Every structure is written in C-alpha cells, then in structure tokens.
C-alpha cells in the first residue's frame, strides 16, 4: 500500500505539479493585478455628464409594458441622452431620448462616432483606430458580455496602449484595458484561472477542467503530507530525512508548508462552487418584497418629464428610476459617489430615514425575528473593503432564522448590497479566509497582508517548484531508460545471454512473432467501419424519464409561464395545442434560463418566439436551469393549453 502511495504521489506530481506551480506564482501576481473588468462604479466613471439639451422625446409605450419593469436609467450615449429599461425577464430596451426611437442595433459607423466622443473625453489629443468587430477575445470572455455581442474593438495610441470595446446592441463602453493590465492579466488571472479564450468560452468544459485538476491537486498534496511525515524520523546516520539535494528541499518544504498548500488548494476548489456547493440562495425573492411592485411605464415617463423640467445636480452622469416599498424613486449618480435619492415628483433630495430602513428590514424575512438592525459606517467580518470599494454607510440586519441570515441594505436606495446565508458564511471563511487571507481587519491591512500572503505563497511555490522539477527529471530518466531498452531489444543477439534471457527480451520477441502472424494472415472482409463518436450526439443522464399531459389555464388578457426543470443534456419531446378563434393573439416564447447566483446576471436563451395556436418539437437543454413556455393571452376569453411532454425533466411548482 505504501508503495502505491509513493507511485501515486510521483505520477500525480508529474501530471499536475506544473499546474500547481503556475497557480502559486500567478496567485502572487493577482494580489496586485486582477483580471481587468469594469464594475458598476468604474462604468459610471466613464460616462459623460448628463445633458438634456436634446431631450426629451418620450418613446411609445412598449408592448407588454403592463408587466412592469425592474429599473430604468438615463445616461449619455455620445452626445445623446438615452433611456435604458430593464424588463422583468432581464432583457434590456434602449431608447434615444432625442428622437424617441428604440435602439435595436449599433452600426460600425455609429460606434465610430461613440468612440470618437469617448476618446475625446478620456484620451484628449490622442489618436485612436478601429481594430475589429469581434465576438469574443481574452478580455471579453465572460458570459455577462453575451447580450452585447458582437463588440467593436478600438485601440488608442496613448502611452498605456489602451483598448476599449463598444456594445453593438446598446452603444455602451463595456470594457477598457491597458497594456499593463493585459500583460499582468495574462501572467496572473488568465494562468491562475486557466482562462485562455479557447477553453474559457466553453464554460462547462472549462469548469470541469478546473474542478478535476484541483481535486487531483488535493490528492497529490494529501498523499505528499502523509509520505513526508512518515519519512521524517531519526535514522542511524543522525539525519531525519532519507533524501538529499532537491528531494531534501522538497521534503522539508512540504513538512513546513504542506498543510498550507492543502488548505490553499482545497479552498480554491470552492471558488468554482463544484456541483452547486456553497452557491447560496440569491436575493431575487427579497428584492421583489423590497420593491413592493414592478416599476411601471408611467413611473418612467413621469421621471423623464420631471428630469427634463428640473434643475440637475452638478456632475450627474446617471439617473436611475426604481421602486421601493411600492413607491417610485430616483437615484442620481456622479462619477465618484454611490448616489443620492430624489423624490420622483419633486426631484428634491429625500434620504431614507432609519425608520424607513427598519421597515424595509422587516420585509426581508416576514415573520422571522430580527436580532439586530443598525446603520454601520465601518467594515465587519462579512462586509469590508479590500479588493473592491464597498458602499458605506449600510443598514445591517441580522435574523434569528434557520440560516442565521444577514443582510446589508444600501442607505441610499434601500437595495440589498450583500446577503449572507449559511452557504455564504462558509464560502466567506473557506475561500476568502483560507485562499485570500481575509481573516480579520488587522490581517487585511497593508503591508501586513502583503507580507503574510507573499511569505506563505513563496513557501507553497518552493513545494510546487521542487516537486515539478523532480517530476520532469523523472520523465527524462524514464524516456532515457525506454530508449535504452528499445536499443537492447533491437540488438538482443549481440547483448549476451543475460539480456537474451530477460523478461523484456522475451516479451519483445513474442510481440514480434504475433505481429508477423497477423501480417501474413489472410485479409478478412470488412463489413463495418467504426467512426468516432461526434460531439452533441450522446448525453448520459440520471434524470427520471417521465411522460405527462397538462392542462394550462391562461386567463383572459393575462400571461403565464409554465416551467420545467432540466439538466444540461437532458432531452424532451413535446406538443401543445389550444382551441381559440384568434390563435395569432397568443404570444408564445419558448425559452430557458439558468439559476441566478447572487447579483450576477443569469443566462437566457430563446428557442422559439411566435404567435400560433400550436407547437411541437424536441429540445436538448443547453444548460441546467428552467426551461418552458411563456404564454400571453391577448384575447378577452380564458384559454386552456393542452401540453404533452415526454423525456427527462422535473415538474416544478408553477
């Protein structure tokens, strides 16, 4: 058994040792340069100051506006004010407020004008040029860019070799990088996360690759710890280690930093939330309760008109309209601030009081006991500044429920800026604590955090470096030995009786004889030629096969969503029909979307959108999530849709 562990450690080290070495070195780089991306505050900093000189032509009321919206924001796109409205399903509508027309697509000519305006503000007296229209590159590989693709890529001839990207759907600046960020981004985040575009754009393959490499790294480290402790004992020559040279360095470095290496690799695994571990609940339900109702088109129209006729706050770059406790509100943002709350009708400042925040807190978990609710102006264990700038003050609410949930509400707009449930609490200490050293405010302070993390990561680097070099030396030795055996087999008759009697020699002769017999055998008739299995041909599934018939009632002038739960690769066949006089007045969207995690945007895909009275087909789910139909009955009579489904799916509460 011990020999098996030694061999496992050796060959696992050869397989993943280099990957672990890359992780440690790139981890040090990531302490000082993260992957370049624009957060909300950085995106606001790139906006032009709002001007209503060419405003405002109100757009026509959109179709399905009675369903309501999540938010609406007003900002500049070039020299033109625009209205960006987020629908309840996450889709975005964009309107030119100078003309009232909807913006469906940005041509390259339009993008060139937007780029010129942006470059004039951010890079004065500097030339820029159009580089290419792209779908994906190394710095736009995130799924959050999908709704903006394709992208227009521009290069600036400044000292920092800046590059920026414009959405072909909205005209927004969605990414901005410099040469320094790209170089260190490659050496840091791209290597650390195994993020080359060719792999990362296939999200499922990338995720499984990282997860399984990390699991192999955990086994490698755990076995190495056991062997290192077992081999450390007093010997007759007075030494405690049987090794010398590089192996001695590896032995002692492993004894000193082995536990740290194990916890570091183990905690890194949970950054991937493997198989749903520590994903948390999300905040969708609580956000709806805080809003009280969807934002209406009338709210948006009132906000646009009032903003046009009011005195604007200086340096404002964005107005955002939303609902809170059933009432519409406006938040005015500058480039630097987290916003100021205004009344929708008067456009006068209207800060949230402590009593209002307390009332919002009680809506988060109706019926649950609040153990603490207070306004905080400094960091605590779960909400703190470190790698990103947090909003302060915030209203912290703690509940005595089964999850011991904790919420942080924005004191400006009342939204949830962070939620901590049981999963998030474990994630905070396993990943942010063990992996990034965020244990306490004292340890996060610099330069103490730098000294602590660099010292420990250098120790882990020594472990991985020595193990990797030893592994590659072993490969070179094995290759050399294999070449020697090959030469001996070819010259066996000249190598003496000892070699000729060896097992290797006899094995080679046996194989040669077998190959000769096969070569001389009569050629058989070939009836079948096996071809390789193609991608997207076979999908294994553990889901339960089921067949169902469902009567779906859709009330007059109402809409309804009928949902099925499916895993990626699961398949169904279906057919639905409906009896109605005007089937063209039934709007249908067959679509699927992922489960949202926290504030991160989800992925949605529309399979078929039509206005017909029947539909049939088959679906192989492209991702795990919710898949189904949204029916909008635009008639004055109730209808019943008869749906038949067969395949691998889960019936969900409708």
Distance CA 264, CA 26 (A): 14
- The architecture of the domain spanning 545-651 is Sandwich (2.60)
Q: Which residue has the tokens 């198989």?
A: 275
Predicted pLDDT at 524: 43
Predicted pLDDT at 52: 87
Length of the chain: 654
Predicted pLDDT at 516: 43
Distance CA 185, CA 179 (A): 9
Predicted pLDDT at 531: 65
Q: What is the pTM of this model?
A: 0.71
Distance CA 495, CA 569 (A): 58
Residues of the chain below pLDDT 50: 493-501, 504-505, 508-509, 512-525
Spell out the domain ranges in the chain.
Answer: 1-36+182-275+440-487, 104-169, 545-651
Contact present, 76 and 51 (Cβ < 8 Å) = yes
> Nearest-CA neighbor of 552 among 580, 591, 581?
580
Predicted pLDDT at 233: 86
Predicted pLDDT at 626: 93
Strands in 128-134's sheet, in edge-to-edge order, are: 128-134, 151-156, 163-167, 173-177
Contact present, 521 and 502 (Cβ < 8 Å) = no
């Amino acid at each position: 058994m011990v020999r098996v562990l030694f061999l496992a450690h050796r060959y696992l080290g050869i397989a993943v040792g280099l990957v672990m070495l890359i992780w440690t070195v790139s981890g040090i780089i990531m302490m000082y340069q993260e992957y370049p991306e624009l957060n909300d505050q950085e995106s606001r900093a790139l906006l032009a100051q709002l001007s209503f000189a060419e405003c405002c032509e109100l757009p026509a009321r959109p179709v399905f506006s009675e369903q309501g919206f999540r938010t609406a924001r007003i900002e500049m796109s070039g020299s033109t004010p625009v209205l960006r409205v987020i629908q309840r399903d996450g889709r975005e509508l964009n309107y030119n407020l100078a003309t009232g027309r909807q913006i469906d697509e940005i041509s390259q000519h339009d993008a060139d004008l937007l780029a010129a305006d942006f470059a004039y503000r951010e890079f004065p007296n500097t030339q820029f040029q159009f580089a290419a229209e792209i779908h994906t590159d190394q710095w736009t590989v995130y799924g959050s860019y999908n709704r903006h693709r394709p992208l227009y890529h521009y290069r600036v001839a400044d000292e920092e070799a800046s590059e920026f990207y414009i959405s072909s759907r909205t005209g927004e600046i969605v990414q901005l990088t410099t040469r320094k960020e790209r170089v260190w981004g490659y050496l840091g985040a791209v290597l650390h996360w195994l993020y080359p575009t060719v792999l990362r754009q296939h999200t499922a393959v990338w995720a499984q690759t990282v997860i399984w490499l990390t699991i192999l790294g955990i086994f490698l480290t755990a076995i190495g710890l056991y062997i290192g402790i077992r081999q450390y004992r007093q010997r007759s020559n007075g030494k405690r280690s049987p090794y010398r040279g590089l192996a001695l360095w590896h032995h002692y470095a492993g004894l000193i930093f082995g536990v740290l290496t194990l916890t570091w690799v183990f905690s890194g695994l949970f950054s991937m939330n493997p198989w749903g571990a520590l994903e948390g609940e999300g905040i969708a339900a609580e956000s709806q309760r805080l809003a009280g109702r969807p934002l209406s088109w009338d709210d948006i129209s009132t906000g646009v008109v009032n903003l046009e006729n009011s005195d604007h706050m200086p340096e404002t770059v964005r107005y955002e309209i939303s609902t809170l406790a059933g009432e519409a509100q406006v938040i005015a943002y500058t480039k630097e601030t987290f916003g100021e709350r205004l009344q929708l009708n008067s456009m006068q400042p209207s800060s949230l009081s402590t009593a209002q925040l307390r009332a919002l807190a009680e809506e988060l978990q109706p019926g649950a006991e609040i153990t603490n609710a207070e306004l905080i102006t400094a960091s605590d264990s779960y909400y703190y500044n470190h790698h990103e700038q947090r909003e302060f003050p915030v209203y912290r609410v703690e509940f005595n429920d089964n999850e011991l949930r904790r919420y942080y509400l924005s004191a400006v707009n009342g939204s949830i800026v962070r939620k901590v449930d049981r999963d998030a609490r474990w994630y905070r200490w396993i990943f942010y604590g063990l992996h990034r050293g965020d244990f306490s405010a004292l340890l996060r302070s610099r330069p103490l955090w730098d000294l602590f993390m660099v010292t420990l990561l250098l120790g882990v680097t020594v472990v991985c470096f020595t193990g990797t070099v030893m592994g590659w030396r072993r490969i070179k030795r094995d290759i050399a030995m294999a070449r020697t055996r090959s030469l001996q087999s070819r010259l066996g008759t000249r190598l003496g009786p000892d070699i000729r009697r060896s097992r290797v020699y006899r094995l080679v002769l046996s194989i040669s004889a077998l190959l000769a017999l096969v070569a001389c055998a009569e050629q058989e008739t070939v009836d079948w030629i096996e071809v390789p299995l193609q991608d997207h041909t076979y999908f294994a599934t553990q889901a339960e096969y089921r067949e169902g018939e469902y009567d779906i009632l859709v009330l007059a002038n109402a809409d309804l969503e009928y949902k099925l739960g499916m895993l990626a690769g699961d398949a169904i066949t279906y057919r639905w029909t409906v009896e109605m006089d005007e089937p063209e007045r039934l709007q249908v969207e067959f679509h699927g979307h992922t489960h949202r995690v926290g504030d991160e945007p989800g992925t949605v895909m529309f399979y078929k959108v039509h206005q017909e009275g029947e539909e049939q087909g088959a679906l192989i789910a492209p991702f795990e999530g919710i898949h189904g139909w949204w029916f909008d009955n635009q008639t004055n009579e109730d209808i019943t849709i008869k749906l038949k489904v067969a395949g691998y799916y889960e019936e969900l509460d409708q």
